[in-house]
């Protein structure tokens, strides 16, 4: 399957999941505005599947904790992105050889060198994307090898991969209960890097320079610059790419059965919660003043008993 097909799968899953999550939010939003503990119990009691003892409350708590985790991780990612951008802007330096290569490839305003001892090259910036090459990489590469690197990164730049990689990262972060999405995202990144390698080889007329670059990066050990953008030395992609470049036989890896099973169970639960009918009753002490609450199908209940109001409502 080509990289673009994996991206289409991610987009389709993202849209479907947003629709399901939107349905759940609309149905269970009362949990945030009414008597939460009581409403949670009514939600659990209204599910078509009966859960033993306090398992229902535990599942609902896990769901809420997961939402909190997702929110925190997305906020941390945003902060980290802003920090990387700020650090890059203050650490750029001049390099004669890089400037020469940038002019040759028509990247005068898109190619920058930043100060770092670790060899790295990547695209950064989601709307005004630029290529960044570290001084550590420039120092260990020949001019020909450097050109191969920049041709590789130009492929990412022209295909706006910084934005699509961020999207893939956000999707797998938002839905951790679908681990197969992480597998699809990883496969997409690998095939995308292979596409960039092929573009570099086509421009250089051979693969020797790029193979030499990747071997040099491998000798420096594992260190990803960040995991939500296209990076030349992304560790998870290097082994596959090197084997591909040297025409070594690559064993086709299937998605882990465990991840597929967990994802299917999560999907069944998500669809079940979205389609199930939930009834809840809420009590208010308002001195006998009745309040009328209506369900989606326009049915309403209004009951007053001395000083206690009972309002019954339902969601489809």
pLDDT, mean of residues 43-48: 52
CA distance 153 to 290: 67
Place of tokens 């990412």: 156
Contact 177, 266 (CB under 8 A): yes
Neighbours of 26 (CB within 10 A): 12
pTM (2 d.p.): 0.77
Q: What is the DSSP string of 252-276?
A: PPPPPHHHHHHHHHHHHHHHHHHHS
The 10s digit of each residue's pLDDT in 67-124 is 788 888 888 888 888 888 888 888 899 899 999 999 999 998 899 999 988 898 999 9
Spatial CA neighbour of 184 closest among 163, 214, 164: 164
**Which of 64-78, 194-208, 285-299 has the highest average model confidence (pLDDT)?**
194-208
Residue 165 clears pLDDT 80, i.e. is over it: yes
Average pLDDT of the chain is: 77
Work out the percent of the chain whose per-residue pLDDT is above 90.
26
Please determine, for residue 297, whether its predicted confidence score (pLDDT) is greater than 80. no
The Cβ of residue 125 has, within 10 Å, a number of other Cβ atoms equal to 17
Query: Rounded to whole angstroms, how far apart are CA atoms 166 and 149?
Result: 21
Which band of pLDDT confidence, cut at 50, 70 and 90, is reported for residue 27?
low
pLDDT at 232: 83
3 state DSSP class of 107: coil
Q: Of the ranges 6-10, 33-37, 291-295, which is most confident?
A: 6-10
pLDDT tens per residue, range 203-259:
998 899 999 999 888 888 766 556 667 888 787 888 888 888 888 887 777 888 999
9 or 57, higher pLDDT = 9
């Amino acid at each position: 399957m080509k990289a673009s097909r994996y991206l289409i799968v991610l987009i389709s899953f993202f849209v479907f999941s947003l629709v399901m999550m939107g349905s759940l939010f609309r149905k269970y939003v009362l949990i945030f505005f009414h008597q939460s503990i009581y409403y949670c119990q009514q939600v659990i009691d209204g599910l078509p599947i009966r859960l033993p003892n306090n398992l229902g409350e535990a599942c609902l708590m896990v769901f809420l904790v997961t939402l909190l985790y997702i929110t925190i991780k997305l906020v941390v990612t945003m902060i980290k992105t802003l920090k990387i951008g700020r650090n890059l802007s203050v650490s750029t330096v001049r390099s004669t050889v890089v400037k020469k290569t940038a002019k040759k490839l028509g990247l005068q305003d898109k190619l920058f060198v930043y100060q770092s001892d670790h060899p790295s090259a990547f695209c950064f910036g989601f709307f005004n994307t630029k290529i960044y090459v570290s001084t550590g990489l420039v120092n260990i590469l020949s001019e020909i090898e450097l050109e191969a690197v920049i041709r590789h990164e130009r492929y990412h730049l022209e295909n706006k991969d910084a934005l699509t990689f961020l999207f893939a990262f956000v999707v797998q972060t938002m839905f951790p209960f679908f681990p197969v999405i992480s597998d699809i995202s990883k496969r997409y990144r690998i095939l995308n890097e292979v596409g960039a390698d092929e573009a570099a080889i086509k421009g250089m007329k051979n693969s020797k320079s790029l193979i030499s670059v990747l071997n040099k990066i491998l000798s420096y050990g594992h260190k990803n610059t960040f995991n939500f953008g296209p990076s030349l030395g992304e560790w998870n992609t290097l082994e596959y790419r090197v084997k591909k470049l040297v025409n070594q036989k690559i064993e086709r890896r299937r998605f882990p059965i465990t991840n597929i099973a967990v994802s299917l169970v999560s999907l069944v639960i998500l669809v079940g919660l979205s389609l199930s009918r939930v009834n809840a009753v809420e009590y208010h002490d308002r001195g006998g003043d009745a309040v009328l609450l209506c369900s989606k199908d326009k049915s309403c209940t209004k009951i007053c008993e001395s000083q206690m109001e009972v309002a019954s409502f339902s969601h489809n």
